[in-house]
DNA sequence: ATGGTAGGTCTCCTA
């Protein structure tokens, strides 16, 4: 039966609970993974989601920054969270559905402004985070798993509005793209979004700083859906809900969806 | 070359 998953960097789940509810009502995914919830877990308005059919949640949070949550219509078991690069940040949580599918929800560090770890500690932390993700998946190969989240890297030339202009901009530098590829290879992860939409420009994030984000269209594909090879063939119908970026009081990210016939 | 916006927390940090 079809199983639909979505990922969305929400930039404060408390402020934007009304549009989370709207997305769930409009689109009805089985699972919605949120990043940048910016809330301790006990202050996430879970009842707002439970009353429309999303009665299950696994989450990690902290005050003010980061935070990840998986909202689900289906029962989901908390199977832990990793603190890659030992940052003490809530950037990962994993859940397992009753059909045995494991869901990893990630919020990879953005990495600061300068793409040089000798002058920008945050860039080093981002690279270390990716290295530890890679080593973790190498040591314990995922099976029947879906990995989603804001990975804060746009890997392909057509994942950014200008490959040339962004080559030195954090999120699209060669070292980040290379490390992302190593992490992907380590888990044999298949990029489901690009499996379904192989050609053309595709973005999931547009800066708040543009005067008219849609007209300028200076986007980047920072949000990803990956799956292991044992279920990647079951995936179809990937889409980015660009219109959501234009909703009232929007997140700067649009949700990314994929459906699996499991 | 620069500054532009947004959210959370406690006057600045992060994105």
Domain count, chain A: 1
Q: What does the pLDDT look like over A65-104, one tens digit per residue?
A: 999 999 999 999 999 999 999 999 999 999 999 999 999 9
Residue with minimal CA–C1' distance to B8 is A64
Query: What is chain A's mean pLDDT, rounded?
Result: 97
**DSSP per-residue letters across A109-142:** ----S-S-TTT-HHHHHHHHHHHHHHHHHHHS--
**DSSP per-residue letters across A183-216:** HHHHTT-EEHHHHHS-SS---SB--TTSSSHHHH
Q: Show which positions of strand B are touched by protein (CB under 7 A).
A: 3-9, 14-15
Cα of A182 vs its chain's centroid, Å: 18
Residue in this structure with the two tokens 């832990």, named with its chain if needed: A80
Distance CA A259, CA A102 (A): 15
Parent domain of A194: 2-261
Measure Cα distances from A163 to A130, A141, A160, A234, A252 in Å. 22, 32, 6, 31, 20
Asked whether residue A126's C-beta has any atom of DNA/RNA strand B within 7 A, the reply is no
We report the CATH number of the domain holding residue A43 as 3.60.10.10
Residues 6+ positions from A162 with CB-CB distance below 8 Å: A218
Residue with minimal CA–C1' distance to B14 is A65
The answer to whether the CB of A45 falls within 8 A of the CB of A21 is no
Distance CA A141, CA A102 (A): 12
pLDDT for A1 equals 85
Residue in this structure with the two tokens 């793409």, named with its chain if needed: A115
Q: What does the pLDDT look like over A28-43, one tens digit per residue?
A: 999 999 999 999 999 9
Q: What does the pLDDT look like over A176-235, one tens digit per residue?
A: 999 999 999 999 999 999 999 999 999 999 999 999 999 999 999 999 999 999 999 999
Nucleotide nearest to A222 (CA to C1'): B15
- The strand B neighbours among A residues 191-250, by Cβ under 7 Å, are 207-209, 249
């Amino acid at each position: 039966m079809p199983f639909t998953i979505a990922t969305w960097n929400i930039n404060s789940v408390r402020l934007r609970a009304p549009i989370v509810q709207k997305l769930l009502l409009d689109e009805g995914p089985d699972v919605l993974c949120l990043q940048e919830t910016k809330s301790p877990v006990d202050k996430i308005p879970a009842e707002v989601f439970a009353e429309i059919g999303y009665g299950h949640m696994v989450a990690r949070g902290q005050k003010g920054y980061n935070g990840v949550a998986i909202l689900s219509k289906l029962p989901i078991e908390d199977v832990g969270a990793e603190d890659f690069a030992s940052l003490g940040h809530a950037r990962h949580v994993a859940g397992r559905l009753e059909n045995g599918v494991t869901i990893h929800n990630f919020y990879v560090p953005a990495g600061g402004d300068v793409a040089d770890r000798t002058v920008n500690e945050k860039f080093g932390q981002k690279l270390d985070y990716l290295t530890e993700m890679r080593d973790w998946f190498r040591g314990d190969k995922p099976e029947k798993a879906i990995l989603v989240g804001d990975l804060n890297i746009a890997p392909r030339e057509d994942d950014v509005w200008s490959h040339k202009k962004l080559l030195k901009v954090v999120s699209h530098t060669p070292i980040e793209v290379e490390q992302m590829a190593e992490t992907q290879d380590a888990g044999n992860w298949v990029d489901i979004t690009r499996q379904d939409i192989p050609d053309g420009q595709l973005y999931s994030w547009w800066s708040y700083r543009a005067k008219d984000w849609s007209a300028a269209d200076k986007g980047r594909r920072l949000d990803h859906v990956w799956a292991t090879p044992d279920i990647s063939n079951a995936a179809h119908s990937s889409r980015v809900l660009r219109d959501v970026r234009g909703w009232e009081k929007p997140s700067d990210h649009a949700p990314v969806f994929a459906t699996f016939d499991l």
